Amino acid sequence: MRRKKKAQIIIRIVIRQIFKNTEKMTTELSIAEACLDAKKASGKTYDELAEICGVTNVYLAQILLGQAQLKPATKAKLSAAMPTLSEEIMDKMANCPTRCFDSDILKEPQVYRTYEAVMHYGLAIKNIVNEKFGDGIMSAIDYYMSVKEIKGVKGERRVVITLNGKFLPFIQMNADEDTS
């Protein structure tokens, strides 16, 4: 129970950090806090809410934290799953969010370790992607992400983070195709 309360406090601090330098801080922060309160009141996990809404657990968390837009098809499902979330808040969640990054988030240990893993394995990942797909990058727009738990060979709990993005090849910039 203490761990969950500590996690909630950390999430609220991170939300404040993300929006600290934006005009929309008060609105975005109050929406995210209202969402976290409604999630807590629902008694449901991110996985349970995501399954109800038909989205990945990471995307559901982004919606609640104000980092992704609440789409009309998801709104009714989320409303039923989190009945204490007001219609007014959900209408605001349907607006285009301010997607931002504050480097202070890297001080949070889980975020730092994830960042560290990508940085450590990044060159190897890049080389394998280029070998399999050619010169290009993985989209973070046409993209799915999820976090799951599995059991390791010794019975230990293991974290699986899946990054699933569309491949975007770099193009040759031919002068005769430049429409600008």
Known catalytic residues are 113, 116, 139
User: Which residue(s) pair with 146 in the sheet?
Assistant: 162
- 53 close to 77: Cβ distance less than 8 angstroms: yes
Handedness of CA 175, 126, 164, 4 (dihedral sign): negative
Of 28, 22, 14, 17, give the one whose Cα is nearest residue 92: 28
**Distance between CA atoms of residues 119 and 106, nearest Å:** 13
Q: Which uninterrupted H or E stretch holds 111? A: helix 109-133
Orientation angle between helical segments 46-53 and 57-64, nearest 10 degrees: 100
